[in-house]
A and B are shown apart, each in its own frame.
Chain A
Amino acid sequence: MTKINDVTAAVEAGKTKLIAGLVQEALNEGVTANEILQAMIGAMNVVGGKFSSGEIFVPEMLMAAKSMQKGVEVLKPLLAGAGAVSLGKCIIGTVVGDLHDIGKNLVLMMIESAGFEVIDLGVDVPIETFIDAIKTNPDVKLVACSALLTTTMPAMKETVEAIRASGLKGFKIIVGGAPITEAFAKEIGADGYAMDAGSAGVKAKELIQISATI
Chain B
Amino acid sequence: MTTEKENYLKVLRGEQPEWVPNYLDAIALCMPVVYENKVIPGSGNPNKKFKDIFGIEHEDREKYTDMLGIEWTQTIDGQIPTPGKHLITDITKWREQVNYPFPDLDKIDFKTQAEGYYSVVDHNQKAVVCLVFGRYEMLMDLMGVDNALCALIEEPEAVHDFFTEFTNFQEKTLRVSFPYYKPDVVLIPDDVATVKDLFMSPEIYTKMVAPYVRQIAKAAVELGAIAEMHCCGKCEKLIPQWIDMGITVWQPAQAVNDLKAIKEKYGHKIVLNGGWDTNGPGAMTGAPEEVVRQSVRDAIDKLAPGGGYVFWDTGMTGGDFEKFGWTADEARKYGKEFYKKHSQESI
Residues of chain A having any CB pair with chain B under 8 Å: 14, 16, 54, 56-60, 62-63, 66, 99-102, 105-106, 109, 122-124, 149-151, 153-154, 178-179, 195-196
- Asked whether A57 lies within 8 Å of B285 as measured between CB atoms, the reply is no
Q: Of B178-186, B189-197, B244-252, B335-343, which binds chain A?
A: B189-197
- Asked whether B200 lies within 8 Å of A57 as measured between CB atoms, the reply is yes
Which partner residue on chain B sits nearest A179 by CB separation? B279
Which partner residue on chain A sits nearest B195 by CB separation? A178
- Asked whether A58 lies within 8 Å of B153 as measured between CB atoms, the reply is no
What's the nearest-Cβ distance from chain B to residue A107, in Å?
A: 12
Check A149/B153 contact, CB under 8 A, given A57-B200, A154-B285, A179-B279. Answer: no
Q: Of B3-11, B14-22, B76-84, B111-119, which binds chain A?
A: B76-84
Check A57/B204 contact, CB under 8 A, given A16-B154, A99-B80, A101-B83. Answer: yes
| A149 CA to B316 CA, complexed, in Å | 9
Cβ-closest 4 pairs across A and B: A151-B318, A59-B149, A178-B195, A179-B279
- Asked whether A59 lies within 8 Å of B199 as measured between CB atoms, the reply is yes
- Asked whether A58 lies within 8 Å of B75 as measured between CB atoms, the reply is no
Check A150/B278 contact, CB under 8 A, given A59-B149, A59-B153. Answer: yes
Proximity string of chain B (309-321) to chain A, C-beta cutoff 8 Å, 1 when within and 0 when not: 0000000111110
23 A-B contact pairs sorted by A residue (CB < 8 Å): A14-B153, A57-B201, A57-B204, A58-B199, A59-B153, A59-B200, A60-B153, A62-B146, A62-B150, A63-B154, A99-B75, A102-B145, A105-B144, A106-B145, A124-B83, A149-B318, A150-B283, A150-B284, A151-B77, A153-B284, A154-B285, A154-B286, A178-B194
| A109 CA to B144 CA, complexed, in Å | 14
What's the nearest-Cβ distance from chain A to residue B72, in Å?
A: 11
Judge whether B219 is part of the interface by a CB distance below 8 angstroms: no
Residues on the B chain within 8 Å of A63, using CB: 150, 153-154
8 A Cβ contacts from B139-197 to A: 144-146, 149-150, 152-154, 194-197
Which partner residue on chain B sits nearest A14 by CB separation? B153
Residues on the B chain within 8 Å of A16, using CB: 154
What's the nearest-Cβ distance from chain A to residue B278, in Å?
A: 7
Classify the secondary structure of B's interface with A: loop
| A150 CA to B77 CA, complexed, in Å | 11
- Asked whether A150 lies within 8 Å of B318 as measured between CB atoms, the reply is yes
- Asked whether A59 lies within 8 Å of B150 as measured between CB atoms, the reply is yes
- Asked whether B154 lies within 8 Å of A149 as measured between CB atoms, the reply is no
8 A Cβ contacts from B256-302 to A: 278-279, 283-286
| A62 CA to B145 CA, complexed, in Å | 10
Which partner residue on chain A sits nearest B256 by CB separation? A178
- Asked whether B84 lies within 8 Å of A101 as measured between CB atoms, the reply is yes
| A54 CA to B271 CA, complexed, in Å | 27
Check A99/B279 contact, CB under 8 A, given A57-B204, A59-B200, A62-B150. Answer: no
| A124 CA to B75 CA, complexed, in Å | 11
| A109 CA to B320 CA, complexed, in Å | 34
Judge whether B210 is part of the interface by a CB distance below 8 angstroms: no
- With most chain B CB atoms within 10 A of its CB, the pick from A14, A56, A102, A109 is A102
What's the nearest-Cβ distance from chain A to residue B51, in Å?
A: 17
Which partner residue on chain A sits nearest B153 by CB separation? A59
| A94 CA to B49 CA, complexed, in Å | 23
What's the nearest-Cβ distance from chain A to residue B318, in Å?
A: 3
What's the nearest-Cβ distance from chain B to residue A102, in Å?
A: 5
19 extra interface residue pairs, beta carbon distance < 8 Å, beyond A99-B80, A151-B318, A153-B284: A54-B197, A57-B198, A57-B200, A57-B201, A57-B204, A58-B194, A58-B199, A59-B149, A59-B153, A62-B149, A63-B154, A101-B83, A106-B146, A109-B146, A150-B279, A150-B316, A150-B318, A151-B77, A154-B286
- With most chain A CB atoms within 10 A of its CB, the pick from B76, B154, B198 is B154
| A160 CA to B145 CA, complexed, in Å | 27
- Asked whether B145 lies within 8 Å of A105 as measured between CB atoms, the reply is yes
| A56 CA to B200 CA, complexed, in Å | 8
- Asked whether B196 lies within 8 Å of A196 as measured between CB atoms, the reply is yes
Residues on the A chain within 8 Å of B278, using CB: 150
| A106 CA to B77 CA, complexed, in Å | 22
| A66 CA to B286 CA, complexed, in Å | 41
